[in-house]
Structure 1
Amino acid sequence: MSDLYAMNWKAVVDATDYGPDTSSPLKVARDSGSRAFDAGTLAPDVRAEQEKLLWADTLVFPFPLWWNTMPAILKDWVDRVFTSRFAYGVGEHRDT
């Protein structure tokens, strides 16, 4: 279980999430996948959440609707944790 508020989850995607080899300006899809995920330089909090996802059989996202969508802190969790090469950009039409 991850309580984002109790964890003081950083609710901003920035270059510190992806290690020292990020592009300028930041290109989230490229920097999160082929650079940070493959190189193992993702921020420790992001990697910890990815490890939880790899362990889980089921995901449950309990949240109140905020203007017909999830709260900003949860949206940022999705943006930071579901990185390229971990959550997308893989499958039957790719090498990996």
Structure 2
Amino acid sequence: MVHDGDASNTGINKRDRDDKTLTPMDQMNNPSDLKITQEIRQALMKGEFSMAAKNIKVITRNGTVTLRGPVETAAELKQISVLVKAMPGIKSIDNQLQVK
């Protein structure tokens, strides 16, 4: 029997199996995309964010950053948005973050 995890994650698990939803496997391997993802991840780790926020999915493809996952508060969501928008090299942001 395969267990999908906590029942509250069922919708997330189904979404992540959808062919239209980007996952970390879709991360581009070109140096500029990898650098953007790395810089976002480092900024999240250094910042005073919740553990949930530090574990969001960050996927960069051709300069477009997708942010997905739960965060603790609306204020945290806004902080992350401001942080990412200020980073160089990003063409656009697809912010799919959700407050728990």
> Normalized against structure 1, the TM-score is what?
0.25
> Which structure shows the bigger proportion of residues in strand conformation?
2
Report which structure shows greater RCO (CA 8 Å, sep ≥6). 1
> Which structure shows the bigger proportion of residues in helix conformation?
2
> Normalized against structure 2, the TM-score is what?
0.24
